[in-house]
């Protein structure tokens, strides 16, 4: 029984709040129309409409939360993208939802709120009929057009109002409040397409964060290997070399030291290759433009490098661009009999564009291990794109676009 009363009181409170908000929304509707009409009149609406709709949207979101708590169901929320501009605001599906919600909410809240108001006021107003006798001559209380002019009619009126109030609490208020809450959620809920798009955007952002963190971690590992492990191996190799010279008269010991010395040098060579594969040290020392200049200088085929204004690049994008150019230039030197290679890098907004062109024989076949597959995988990890144009007879053009926004 206590639970019935608690649900009824909670539902009545919800409906009373909705009733007050519905009255306020009746005032807000013509004001919204006025704000919209100020758009073509002097352009004032360009400044007024975004904050106005933002305020209405916050009210709608609050009522959506109230409905969610009443029904005890979660509300799918879209990430906050800040205050959009005027044009973006009109394109937002949430704007259309709020504008549709406003009149429906105002009308439904008035009728449903009256039900909650009756449920609360009927038991309270019934008390006044017990004081019918204290009213001045010529004044009387009425309920449903029946005057309370005696104890019989007064007590009957009190009983009827209490029964009606209890009936409203027991069988009408809670269903009405739930129906109102479901209407709020249905009108304000984002569509499946919006939720999917928001999820894709969130995954893109989190993947970019993971890739950046991964690139920074690889850079840290490269520094640790270069400054720590490689330095130790160099020291061990030097000590083995000195010991080998000092013990040259003992053939067996000299042979062991020789093998250890050569093994250490091989380990250093392998370690250098691993370091270059993780994060080329030249990138940390000279940056992307400097690293590519060094690559062009040591390439046996004439390589022309054109680097535009790149700004500050994420570590992952910088590393991917370096390896893309390295792989494409290596392919051109080894397989295309090219006489000249052209490399161009430029940045347009949040996109880094890389283009490698050679005048070789063309006819790149990715199925035969041309190296383009590795480029595609590396670029795909950053959500970039790769285009390869290599007709028979050449030229071969590899174009890559890498997202590099902050």
pLDDT at position 178: 93
* pLDDT tens, the chain, 406 aa long: 566 667 878 888 899 999 999 999 999 998 888 877 777 765 676 777 778 888 888 899 899 999 999 998 887 766 555 545 556 666 777 888 888 999 999 999 999 988 888 777 766 565 555 544 444 455 555 555 456 555 555 566 656 666 677 767 777 888 899 999 999 999 988 878 777 877 777 766 666 666 666 566 666 666 666 666 667 767 777 776 777 666 666 677 767 767 777 777 777 777 666 656 566 777 777 888 888 898 888 888 889 999 888 888 887 888 888 888 988 888 888 887 888 999 999 998 889 999 999 988 888 877 666 678 888 888 887 888 999 888 888 788 999 999 886 5
pTM for the model stands at 0.54
pLDDT at position 181: 94
User: Residue 167 is encoded by which pair of tokens?
Assistant: 């009936």
Domain ranges in the chain are 2-190, 200-278, 285-403
pLDDT at position 222: 61
Q: Which residue has the tokens 């995954």?
A: 203
What is the CATH topology of the domain spanning 285-403? Heat Shock Protein 90 (3.30.565)
Where helices occur in 228-250 by DSSP H, the ranges are: 230-246
- CA gap 16, 18 in Å, rounded: 5
- The tally of CA atoms less than 13 A away on the side-chain side of residue 157 is 24
User: Residue 307 is encoded by which pair of tokens?
Assistant: 């680097």
- CA gap 207, 214 in Å, rounded: 10
DSSP 58-126: HHHHHHHHHHHHHHT-----PPP-----HHHHHH-HHHHHHHHHHHHHHHHHHHHHHHHHHHHHHHHHG
């Amino acid at each position: 029984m206590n639970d019935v009363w608690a649900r009824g009181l909670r539902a009545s409170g919800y409906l009373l709040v909705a009733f007050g908000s519905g009255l306020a929304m009746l005032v807000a509707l013509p004001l919204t129309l006025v704000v919209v009409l100020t758009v073509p009149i002097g352009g004032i609406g360009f400044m007024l409409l975004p904050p106005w709709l933002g305020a209405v949207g916050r009210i709608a979101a609050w009522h959506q939360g109230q409905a969610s708590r009443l029904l005890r169901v979660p509300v799918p929320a879209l990430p906050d993208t800040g205050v959009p501009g005027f044009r973006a605001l009109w394109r937002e599906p949430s704007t259309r939802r709020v504008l549709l919600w406003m009149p429906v909410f105002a009308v439904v809240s008035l009728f449903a709120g009256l039900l909650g108001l009756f449920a609360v006021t009927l038991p309270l107003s019934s008390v006044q009929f017990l004081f019918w006798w204290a009213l001045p001559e010529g004044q009387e209380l009425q309920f449903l057009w029946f005057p309370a002019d005696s104890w019989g009619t007064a007590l009957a009126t009190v009983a009827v109002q209490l029964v009606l109030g209890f009936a409203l609490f027991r069988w009408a208020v809670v269903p009405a409040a739930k129906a109102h809450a479901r209407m709020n959620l249905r009108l304000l809920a984002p569509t499946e397409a919006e939720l999917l798009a928001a999820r894709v955007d969130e995954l893109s952002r989190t993947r970019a964060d993971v890739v950046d963190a991964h690139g920074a971690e690889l850079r840290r590992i490269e520094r640790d290997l270069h400054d720590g492990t490689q330095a130790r191996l160099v020291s061990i190799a030097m000590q083995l070399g000195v010991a080998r010279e000092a013990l040259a008269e003992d053939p067996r010991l000299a042979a062991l030291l020789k093998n250890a010395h050569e093994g250490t040098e091989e380990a250093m060579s392998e370690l250098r290759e691993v370091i270059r594969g993780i994060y080329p040290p030249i990138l940390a020392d000279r940056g992307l433009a400097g690293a590519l200049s060094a690559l062009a200088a040591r390439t046996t085929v004439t390589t022309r490098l054109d680097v535009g204004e790149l700004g500050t690049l994420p570590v992952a994008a910088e590393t991917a661009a370096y390896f893309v150019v390295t792989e494409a230039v290596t392919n051109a030197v080894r397989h295309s009999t090219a006489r000249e290679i052209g490399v161009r890098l430029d940045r347009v907004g949040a996109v880094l564009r890389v283009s490698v062109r050679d005048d070789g024989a063309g006819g790149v076949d990715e199925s035969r291990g041309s190296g383009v597959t590795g480029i595609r995988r590396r670029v795909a990890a950053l959500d970039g794109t790769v285009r390869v144009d290599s007709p028979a007879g050449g030229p071969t053009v590899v174009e890559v676009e890498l997202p590099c926004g902050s």
